[in-house]
Amino acid sequence: MKTLLYLIVATFLFSCKSEKLNPEIDMSAIGDSIPAQESWNAKIYFTDQGVLNAILHAEHILVYSDQSKTYLEELNIDFYNSEEVKTTNLTSRRGRVNEITKDMYAIEDVVAVSDSGVTLLTEELMWRNKDNKIVTDKFVTILTEDEKIEGYGFESDQSLSNYTIFEVTYQAYTK
């Protein structure tokens, strides 16, 4: 009996190997790349030489360094003028930032509301960093206290004070 026990223990000890096993990792669920950074319920302040330009709130942020792009989900941005007074609020379901140009794209259910009462509705727009302009070639609706304007193509300052709709398809005065 004792010999049988020694035989089992010896078999067990000699059958163990010291080499490490590396498990196979299934990369198909990850896709082509994974984010370098990821944040939830984030709040980011944008400044230029110490002056507040915007505050971004996003439920989810994914930064892809290899693509020079940042993807945003459920974003809410407050824009400020040079005196750091809030002028406009922009919301959308999704967005992205080109990290090279710093241009920001708002996508799906985009709503921008200025402090002067102008509301912009569209499905996609870009905030152009180089001149702080809001632009799109998509269909837009502008609502003010006095009128409703619809059309294609839009450009404005970020406070929605000076805007142009390039191809107006509808205009009605509400007063």
pTM of the model: 0.77
Band (106; pLDDT cuts 50, 70, 90): very high
DSSP letter string, 71-89: EEEEEEEEEE-TTS-EEEE
Q: Looking at residue 145, what DSSP letter applies?
A: S
CATH 2.60.450.10 fits 33-173, yes or no: yes
Alpha helices (H) along the chain: 2-15
Q: Quick: pLDDT tens for 110-148.
A: 999 999 999 999 999 999 988 889 999 999 999 999 999
Alpha carbon distance 45, 146 (integer Å): 34
Is 104 within 8 Å of 127 (Cβ atoms)? yes
Amino acid identity of 100? Answer: I
H or E segment and range at residue 10: helix 2-15
Mean pLDDT value of segment 146-170: 94
C-beta atoms surrounding 89 within 10 Å: 15
Amino acid identity of 108? Answer: E
- What percentage of residues in the chain have a pLDDT greater than 90? 63
Mean pLDDT rounded to a whole number for the chain: 87
Alpha carbon distance 65, 70 (integer Å): 8
Please report, for the chain, the start and end positions of each structural domain, with discontinuous segments joined by +.
33-173
